[in-house]
Structure 1
Amino acid sequence: MILTDFDYARPAGLDEAVALLTGTPGARVLAGGQSLLPDLRAGSDSARLLVDIRRLAGLRGTTRTADGRLLRVGALTTLADLAADPLVLAEAPELAAAARANGDPQVRNLGTAGGNLAAAGRPTDLPAAAIAADAVVELAGPGGRSTLPAEEFAARGAPADAVVTALLVPAAGPAAAFEKSADRATRYPVCAAAVRITPDGPRIAVTGATPRPLRLRGVEDRLRGGPYDTEAVLAAFRAEPRELFVPGRGTSAEYLGHLAGVLTARALQRAERALA
């Protein structure tokens, strides 16, 4: 039972959805509902209006952009579909693996890519993969369409008057991976690491162990040119400030820093094998 009063609207188009969000303080977007609805039931969140975008056309599925350089993942694409999409598996495997690591089958069949990216206050998996992939989030707001780098989006969150419409991901082939150590009860990451090996060196992002999904530029710099063996990666992580890692239930900053290093090493080695 949801112990809060709110109005409900199902807009016929994206412009109507944006108008509802703009015109109603406290309005919230409803997509998969896997974060918002539990919070409403628990009383930890509130809404004056739920704007249900689940039937809006054009926000599902993954396509390649006309120039072939980007994958466009519609915001209403379910995590299950994202995890199994052949195009994503071939060109952005860290994203497919992060989607596959989310929750359980019920969550993956209902939860959406856009909702996972915008789940404020929850250590979901897709943001780290999107940051490692150098992806950008596409938004529709009162000023029209705009984009925001995934790293900046993770720091700022979704604007209250905008709808996430897509994630634009560079198509880079198999040299990427995602590794996760999950909380057994919630399936949220104790720590997760996403990597992508590029000609300029590795891109590395972590979540769960840090205050928010973060790109670790210092670790990237120390590993530029390799090697990616476990000892080298752990040494690169030991040089990071311990304050970067936030202790949780039964964990310390030292433990989380080590765990992040182990997961990153596994991901880098998996990505390296995919290149061979």
Structure 2
Amino acid sequence: MILTEFDYVRPLGLDRALDLLAGPGARVLAGGQSLLPGLRAGTERAGLLVDVRHLDELRGISAADGTLRIGALTTLAELAAHPLVRERAPELAAAARANGDPQVRNLGTAGGNLADRGRPTDLPVAALAAGAEVELAGPGGRTRTGVEEFTAGGVPAGSVLTALLVPAAGPAAAFEKAADRATRYPLCAAAVRITADGPRIAVTGATPRALRLRGVEDRLRGGPYTTEAVLAAFRAEPRELFVPGRGTSAEYLGHLAGVLTARALARAARITA
């Protein structure tokens, strides 16, 4: 299908972009890996595309005061390869590396992957396990919100996701994914980070959205992180937590989520040994 008719603007700065996004039908164009196919297929609508791809203030990766700041326009390829991310937030690097194919990773952005609500994507679950926050710019200025709240609500109308803020806790973290063979989106993905307070565990694909599984965390607090212990912790979760689909049952997805989490915990635990 061909694209529907819309207007296009390339603003010189973020403030002007926000002014334009206050209008009806305005959408942000960043990597475009989800929006443009959606416009072609008719599943997305836009009266105005506000192109922010050239805004340097939305790019780059830096570290300060124990936090990684990842600009929303940082590509998935840059995120996967950056030494700071690989060292201090390896679950983020692994999630970016698992996303799509090289062409998608070279064009797709961290912000777009976090904000895509049409299907499960890889970065939100890793960011959730890391205890990350997102920074938003909107009519009221800059605000920060936890990834857990953000995945439930998405980007507010008229706002732009400017950065992902990730606690730089070191290498005791991992990401595992079982991909849909046709789309490379996660059939199920799990991310973990082992902290002094116990494991942080998040799952996507098998659940309605990226979710932190606090019940599983509580059952595994203090260890051990054996496959048997992890699967038992997942079996204690309510089955309605896992959403059947694409030819799979809730029971299968719950088991798959447990297997992937056990693999991720085993890798993270080996790093701390």
Query: Shared fold by TM > 0.5?
Result: yes
Q: Equivalent of 1:194, from 183, 188, 191?
A: 191
User: What percentage of residue pairs aligned between the two structures are identical?
Assistant: 80
Q: Distance in 1 between matches of 2:97 and 2:2?
A: 29
Instruction: Give the CA deviation at 1:197.
Output: 0.3
Aligned to 1:6: 6
Q: Distance in 1 between matches of 2:92 and 2:117?
A: 19
Q: Distance in 2 between matches of 1:240 and 1:45?
A: 35
Aligned to 1:27: 26
Instruction: Give the CA deviation at 1:4.
Output: 1.4
Q: Which amino acid aligns with 1:128?
A: V
Q: Distance in 2 between matches of 1:149 and 1:247?
A: 27
Aligned to 1:111: 108
Structure 1 contact 60–76 (Cα < 8 Å) conserved: yes
Q: Distance in 1 between matches of 2:148 and 2:127?
A: 8
Q: Distance in 1 between matches of 2:263 and 2:209?
A: 21
Query: Aligned runs of 1:163-174 on 2, under 5 Å?
Result: 163-174=160-171
Query: Aligned runs of 1:83-98 on 2, under 5 Å?
Result: 83-98=80-95
Aligned to 1:49: 48
Q: Distance in 1 between matches of 2:74 and 2:256?
A: 31
Instruction: Give the CA deviation at 1:2.
Output: 3.2
> What is the TM-score when the length of structure 2 is the normalising length?
0.99
Q: CA RMSD in A?
A: 0.7
SS in 2 for 1:180: strand
Instruction: Give the CA deviation at 1:270.
Output: 0.4
SS in 2 for 1:54: coil
SS in 1 for 2:158: coil
Instruction: Give the CA deviation at 1:119.
Output: 0.5
Q: Equivalent of 1:262, from 255, 259, 270?
A: 259
Query: Aligned runs of 1:154-233 on 2, under 5 Å?
Result: 154-233=151-230
Q: Distance in 1 between matches of 2:157 and 2:47?
A: 12
Structure 1 contact 139–166 (Cα < 8 Å) conserved: yes
Q: Equivalent of 1:131, from 116, 128, 132?
A: 128
Deviations 1:46-66 (A, max 9, x none): 00110000001221121002x
Q: Which amino acid aligns with 1:246?
A: V
**Runs (4+) off by over 4 Å:** none
Structure 1 contact 233–265 (Cα < 8 Å) conserved: yes
Structure 1 contact 13–57 (Cα < 8 Å) conserved: no
Number of equivalent positions: 273
Q: Distance in 1 between matches of 2:158 and 2:3?
A: 24
Aligned to 2:145: 148
Deviations 1:26-63 (A, max 9, x none): 11000000000000000011001100000012211210
Aligned to 2:35: 36
Aligned to 1:17: 17
Instruction: Give the CA deviation at 1:11.
Output: 0.7
Q: Distance in 1 between matches of 2:112 and 2:149?
A: 16
SS in 2 for 1:232: helix
Task: Mark the runs of 5 or more structure 2 residues left unpaired by the alignment.
Answer: none
